[in-house]
Amino acid sequence: MSKTHHGESIVLASSNAGKVREINALLADEEIHVIPQSALGVPEAAETGLSFVENAILKARNAAAHSGLAAIADDSGIEVDALAGAPGIYSARYAGPGASDLDNLNKLIEMIREVPPEQRTARFQCLMVYLRHAEDPTPVICQGTWEGLLLDAPRGDNGFGYDPIFLVPSEGCTSAELDPATKNRLSHRGQALSKLVRFLKGEA
């Protein structure tokens, strides 16, 4: 790893326990100390952007400004072709403000119920950003995309969010049926974070 990032402490602009767990697992070998913003008393940023990348930058700037640390943030969600790209940036609140993962999942199942199985194409998108400090004018932006199909009933107990209905064709199972190591290798977040790790190691 490059001398500028080895052993660095970075605030992770998320309080989503599943996301924190995944990102920490992916960075465990890099000796980068990732601290969830909730541990530092950082308030949630208002996600007022109209795209994944705008929201990710808003969250990273907020976390960096309140913590004084470099920051990683991502905005991610699922795009369903039959729903013109919805839920998209609203994936975490698809069923309304304060909705649970199960509420959101059940709403999406209902929305695709009449869509023929072969037309239930979808993808997870992850836009991850790294800011050296709150005023950083050139954030590092990394994107990962994970293609799949949606099922009309949940399968599997791993993962979170929409994972139980996201069928991964190459594996013949849902994201929630994958072991964590396989999911981290294939997933949108894994792809984006691997690009970011290469940058932090001075390889990109």
Q: Which residues are catalytic?
A: 75
Domain formed by 9-200, architecture: Alpha-Beta Complex (3.90)
Cβ burial of 2 (10 Å; 0-12, 13-18, 19+) is: exposed
Which residues 6+ apart lie within 8 Å of 177 measured at CB? 155, 156, 158
pLDDT score recorded for residue 14: 86
pTM of the model: 0.88
Low-confidence ranges of the chain (pLDDT < 70): 1-7, 203-204
pLDDT score recorded for residue 1: 38
The answer to whether the beta carbons of residues 36 and 191 sit under 8 Å apart is: no
CA distance 154 to 145: 21
